[in-house]
Structure 1
């Protein structure tokens, strides 16, 4: 069985910005892309509170909607977190895991990122696994070592 070719992805992460009024921007972007033959997928990752509405705005367009993060568990006492299943339920098709801000501010490890990627896969989402060094690591000449360790530790075995 041959695999489908890998398609480039252009993604925009809104981070912790935006309200319902901000949904005007993806609608405008979707309008600009109408009739254009894209050579890449386009993804917006709004805050979780806007995913369902963003998906409704994008239903006719070429823009996919994704989540900014997910918890490794499907449910439980994880106040403020969102599961991959919940993201899928509100219309997300992808989720970002391992973002540098999460690794730094929330002390997420490669093992944590891998567990989140596995959870995303189980829920039927594509996991976008972020890697990257800190400024100090870059200045210290550690970039390749850090990226290598993040790749080895964050990508689930058997992922394609």
Structure 2
């Protein structure tokens, strides 16, 4: 299938202040200078900047996402942010199941599944993250781990209209290390097979599969050229417009 529109998404994590809007404005200017953009562009700033950045990005090629959401409806849940609140602030998508949430906050596949359902209810596209740790990789469990996370994290109602899947090898995030193109191709091909087996040919082949883990302008073209890689989920390199635009440039 070749008609899946690529996505390049930037996860700012716990970075960014109001002054960081200058980077968003620079990114919008760079994208707007092109005759057409060959991919969707998404930025996930911290919660404090979602509304402001959404306003800045209105009528631009850039969409805004949340970095997480609660599975719960609004109520007495101090410190949590409901999916409906993100949508109200102007977000169109949300990341769930990022490895830092799975590790630091002990989130399970069941937790991620519930958050995805809440996001669907709020009309948000979910970017559901999966990926193995270094010990899991070293013992040859990569495909088993990724397939298990796909099985547990994706709701039965997932399809290409509400869900994007991001493969992020945990050992590569922020380390400067990346799998080989062949390694990425093997994982993405397996994810595609797993999704087709569960959801059928049409739905399974419709999911966009992103790669994340030390994606930089220097390696973006090679990684984005791998079969079944439909874009990238970018960490640190998304904080500066010039670097992020260099990754988007892989789709010119």
Kept in 2: contact 1:95–1:127 (CA 8 A): yes
Alignment of 1:119-130 (within 5 A): 119-130=118-129
RMSD: 1.0
Q: CA deviation at 1:38?
A: 1.1
> 2 CA distance for matches of 1:150 and 1:94?
20
> 1 CA distance for matches of 2:50 and 2:117?
21
- Given the alignment of the two structures, is residue 7 of structure 1 paired with residue 31 of structure 2, yes or no? no
> Greater relative contact order (Cα 8 A, min sep 6): structure 1 or 2?
2
Aligned length: 156
Between structures 1 and 2, the one with greater helix share: 2
> 2 CA distance for matches of 1:88 and 1:122?
10
Greater mean alpha carbon deviation, residues 23-32 or residues 34-43: 34-43
Q: Structure 2 length as normaliser, TM-score?
A: 0.61
Q: CA deviation at 1:60?
A: 3.0
Aligned partner of 2:185 in structure 1 is: none
> 1 CA distance for matches of 2:123 and 2:33?
29
The DSSP-based 3-state class of the residue aligned with 1:92 is coil
TM-superposition CA deviations, 1:41-82 (whole Å, max 9, x none): 000000011011101111131000010000001212222110
Aligned partner of 2:29 in structure 1 is: 31
The DSSP-based 3-state class of the residue aligned with 1:80 is coil
Aligned partner of 1:84 in structure 2 is: 83
After TM superposition, the runs of 4+ consecutive aligned structure 1 residues lying more than 2 A away are none
- Given the alignment of the two structures, is residue 138 of structure 1 paired with residue 145 of structure 2, yes or no? no
Aligned partner of 2:17 in structure 1 is: 19
> 1 CA distance for matches of 2:21 and 2:11?
13
Aligned partner of 1:46 in structure 2 is: 45
Q: Structure 1 length as normaliser, TM-score?
A: 0.94
Task: Provide structure 2 residue ranges, at least 5 long, that are not aligned to the other structure.
Answer: 160-252
> 2 CA distance for matches of 1:66 and 1:78?
21
> 2 CA distance for matches of 1:78 and 1:70?
12
Aligned partner of 2:104 in structure 1 is: 105
Kept in 2: contact 1:31–1:61 (CA 8 A): no
Q: CA deviation at 1:111?
A: 0.5
Greater mean alpha carbon deviation, residues 88-97 or residues 77-86: 77-86
The DSSP-based 3-state class of the residue aligned with 2:94 is strand
Aligned partner of 1:67 in structure 2 is: 66
> 2 CA distance for matches of 1:71 and 1:158?
18
> 1 CA distance for matches of 2:78 and 2:14?
17
The DSSP-based 3-state class of the residue aligned with 2:130 is coil
